[in-house]
Chains A and B, each alone.
Chain A
Amino acid sequence: MSYYLATRQSIISWIKLLASENPTYFPEKYGGASYRFSLVKPDSDIQFEHYTPTVVPPAKLLVPAREELLSFRKNEQGKTEASPTLDTSFRVLAGVRPCDLKGIFMMDLFFNDGVPDAYYIARRKNTAIIAYACMVPCDPRAFCAAVESLHHTEGADVFITPLADGNLLAEIKTDLGKKLAATAEWQQCDDGPRRKAEAVAAMPKPFGRTFPLAFPEIAKIIGRTWQSDVWEKHVVRCFSCGTCNLICPTCYCFDVADSFNLDVESGSRTRTWDACMLPQFALVAGGHNFRPQPAARQRHRVKRKFEYLPDKYGQGSVCVGCGRCGRQCTSHIDIYDIVTDLIQEGDQ
């Protein structure tokens, strides 16, 4: 829509101003080397320079680990009454990187498809996203360029690109973005697209880890692969702990469970994150398990990211190349390595 030039300090002040009015999340350093999306406070250390992907991606702020679907209680006639629990509060996610922005874009597709999910949509429609372009790979595990998420901007209300002169270019992409930026003291920029193109052209090539093939070819190879030694090669180290699912920006499978409050009359139905790598994920009553082997579960996970969901939605790779699964796996099983091996095998 429109472009503005801003100093780093003015953007940081603006985010803090937004945080004084609405719950605003920004990747904050946590512990020795990791980051997490935390509520911005007046004394928060907000900076763009140092960053590795947050432990949990920002998409999970829209799909919380535990979310109440219904609450119920007994009315005066002794009948149980239930009502949906919806979160329609407004929030700002700032400092969202392109890989995570694409993750949220994918979640938008999944939860609006078929029977739309009221809970996700209620949160998403009340969430503003201020995204920030990566000019250099965040860490050695990133492969965002290889899965075409490095230049993703759709879904952001304001998209910020750092320029070579040290200033930042703020691209207002939606009406909500315009409303949020109304309080900012930035300078109108008439040649925004040109400046952005210059910044993009100066990005290192290759950017992060690469695949020898482009995405459509990778999807075809993985689509042809069912029996393969690659499924056994990496999974021998797998504990089936499900961490790779829980920290994935595009994993959204859930379990549903009920609980009573202490009065044993009222309670709630909640959904919680589930993980297709957990052994009981496809277990049915009577004891039959449709994916008993870890290799079958890993194949399902990889195919969901690179074949099933891409086929269904036609928006490219559903793996966004953030590198979280490899980074956080106890056994260092990296979906990048699995896919690289599959490509190599498929080429032979």
Chain B
Amino acid sequence: MQTAPSDYERLARDTFMPQAGKIVDVADMTAKDRYFRVELEKPLGHHPGQFVMVSILGVGEAPISISCGPRKDNILEMVIRRTGRLTQVIHNLKVGDELGIRGPYGSGFDLNDFYGKDVLFVAGGLGLVPLRSLITAVAAESGRFGRITLISGCRNPAEELFREQLKEWADSGIDVVRLVDSTENMPWECSVGLVTDPIPKLSIDPKKTVVALCGPPVMYKFVITALADKRVGYDQIYVDLERRMKCGVGKCGHCQINGIYCCQEGPVFRFSNLECLPEAL
């Protein structure tokens, strides 16, 4: 029954010790969002929709979405918004600098739920960042899905993320609808409106459509109402939620949604499983 000290140390290392990731590319996406391409010591082995805990020892640690699809190499892609002390320091890092990475954590999306179906993605603002991990995976084997549609909205043209990739996806046969809430007098070639606006106009076959959505907390209810009007069942809708997280391993309590831990059972949920969790949306 006595556990050897080395066992505690191994357990502590497995749980809380970040592995080093070397930054191999950075790029500004907007005034406050920066793209980071990180090379890890070993492949991350993640599913779409999972997240990592990113840290700089001495500064802090935060949960960050994985933005690349599943990969066999050691690469991890993230987009990090400058919003606090840690992200400010991360924004000052350059190619060659190191980040601490733990994970991947959370449930993620299961591609088996999407194969053979029409797929609709709805992304609001930074929601495109985690959803990109799934879009990339779906786009990579687009023949295994029916019609693929992406609605991507953001506040104004200057806040649009992955603009070139959105165009590439459109060129590859995905129906991409790009919107801004307001042009704010900036040049803009696409639509103006909320991400819910295009949904009534889409021809959706509720029997063979699955939806994945991610965006700011306020977005979900409106999108789900619009989808319900198109008779899309709650069990065909997957939502990717956001919560405060300090550990990633179901202990610190911050990410709790009613009785469940978002970091363990989420952050991706089938919406029908959230109906009994009034704190979810």
Given the known inter-chain contacts A253-B253, A258-B57, please indicate yes or no for A290 contacting B243, CB distance below 8 A. yes
Which of A94-102, A305-313, A325-333 lies at the binding interface?
A305-313
Q: Mark A257-281, 1 if CB is under 8 A from B, else 0.
A: 1111000100101010010100001
A315–B67 Cα gap in the complex (Å)? Answer: 40
Q: Chain B residues near A300: list those with CB within 8 A.
A: 256, 279
The answer to whether B2 touches A311, judged by C-beta atoms less than 8 angstroms apart, is: no
- Please tell me if B81 contacts chain A, counting CB pairs below 8 Å: yes
| Cβ distance B158 to chain A, nearest Cβ, rounded Å | 17
- Please tell me if B58 contacts chain A, counting CB pairs below 8 Å: yes
Q: Chain A residues near B264: list those with CB within 8 A.
A: 114
- Please tell me if B272 contacts chain A, counting CB pairs below 8 Å: no
Q: Chain A residues near B2: list those with CB within 8 A.
A: 125
- Please tell me if B12 contacts chain A, counting CB pairs below 8 Å: yes
Give B87's nearest chain A residue, CB to CB: A285
Q: Chain B residues near A226: list those with CB within 8 A.
A: 278
The answer to whether B57 touches A115, judged by C-beta atoms less than 8 angstroms apart, is: no
Give B245's nearest chain A residue, CB to CB: A284
The answer to whether B8 touches A284, judged by C-beta atoms less than 8 angstroms apart, is: no
The answer to whether A269 touches B16, judged by C-beta atoms less than 8 angstroms apart, is: yes
Q: Mark B240-281, 1 if CB is under 8 A from A, else 0.
A: 001110110111111011110000100000000000001100
Given the known inter-chain contacts A84-B17, A125-B1, A260-B58, please indicate yes or no for A115 contacting B12, CB distance below 8 A. no
| Cβ distance A278 to chain B, nearest Cβ, rounded Å | 11
A300–B259 Cα gap in the complex (Å)? Answer: 9
The answer to whether A114 touches B252, judged by C-beta atoms less than 8 angstroms apart, is: no
- Please tell me if B216 contacts chain A, counting CB pairs below 8 Å: yes
A283–B13 Cα gap in the complex (Å)? Answer: 28
The answer to whether A258 touches B61, judged by C-beta atoms less than 8 angstroms apart, is: yes
- Please tell me if A50 contacts chain B, counting CB pairs below 8 Å: no
The answer to whether B254 touches A274, judged by C-beta atoms less than 8 angstroms apart, is: yes
Q: Which B1-23 residues have a C-beta within 8 angstroms of A?
A: 1-3, 5, 8-9, 11-13, 15-18
- Please tell me if B143 contacts chain A, counting CB pairs below 8 Å: no
| Cβ distance B61 to chain A, nearest Cβ, rounded Å | 6
Q: Chain A residues near B217: list those with CB within 8 A.
A: 288, 290
- Please tell me if B59 contacts chain A, counting CB pairs below 8 Å: yes
Q: Mark A57-97, 1 if CB is under 8 A from B, else 0.
A: 00000000000011010000000101010101000000000
| Cβ distance A179 to chain B, nearest Cβ, rounded Å | 12
The answer to whether A84 touches B13, judged by C-beta atoms less than 8 angstroms apart, is: yes
- Please tell me if B83 contacts chain A, counting CB pairs below 8 Å: yes
A274–B252 Cα gap in the complex (Å)? Answer: 8
**DSSP majority for the A interface?**
mixed
Q: Chain A residues near B9: list those with CB within 8 A.
A: 84, 86, 118
- Please tell me if A198 contacts chain B, counting CB pairs below 8 Å: no
Q: Chain B residues near A274: list those with CB within 8 A.
A: 246, 252-254
- Please tell me if B60 contacts chain A, counting CB pairs below 8 Å: yes
- Please tell me if B84 contacts chain A, counting CB pairs below 8 Å: yes
Given the known inter-chain contacts A86-B8, A284-B243, please indicate yes or no for A258 contacting B58, CB distance below 8 A. yes
| Cβ distance A57 to chain B, nearest Cβ, rounded Å | 17
Q: Chain B residues near A271: list those with CB within 8 A.
A: 246, 252
Which residue from A69, A114, A285 sits with its C-beta under 8 Å from B250?
Answer: A114
The answer to whether A115 touches B243, judged by C-beta atoms less than 8 angstroms apart, is: no
A271–B12 Cα gap in the complex (Å)? Answer: 13
A285–B242 Cα gap in the complex (Å)? Answer: 10
The answer to whether B58 touches A256, judged by C-beta atoms less than 8 angstroms apart, is: no
- Please tell me if A48 contacts chain B, counting CB pairs below 8 Å: no
Q: Chain A residues near B278: list those with CB within 8 A.
A: 226
Which residue from A69, A88, A116, A296 sits with its C-beta under 8 Å from B5?
Answer: A88
| Cβ distance A129 to chain B, nearest Cβ, rounded Å | 14
Given the known inter-chain contacts A72-B57, A258-B57, please indicate yes or no for A253 contacting B259, CB distance below 8 A. no
Q: Chain A residues near B8: list those with CB within 8 A.
A: 84, 86, 88, 118-119, 121-122
Give A117's nearest chain B residue, CB to CB: B251
Given the known inter-chain contacts A70-B17, A86-B5, A254-B251, please indicate yes or no for A284 contacting B244, CB distance below 8 A. yes
Q: Mark B178-200, 1 if CB is under 8 A from A, else 0.
A: 00000000000000000000000
Given the known inter-chain contacts A84-B9, A118-B9, A121-B11, please indicate yes or no for A72 contacting B58, CB distance below 8 A. yes
| Nearest 8 Cβ contacts at the A-B interface | A253-B253, A308-B259, A84-B12, A118-B11, A118-B12, A115-B249, A122-B8, A285-B83
Beyond contacts A80-B57, A258-B61: 17 other A-B pairs, Cβ-Cβ < 8 A, are A82-B18, A82-B57, A86-B5, A115-B15, A119-B12, A254-B252, A257-B60, A267-B58, A269-B16, A269-B55, A269-B61, A271-B252, A274-B253, A282-B244, A284-B242, A303-B258, A311-B259
User: Could you name 6 residue pairs across A and B whose Cβ atoms are closer than 8 Å?
Assistant: A80-B57, A226-B278, A254-B252, A258-B56, A303-B259, A312-B259
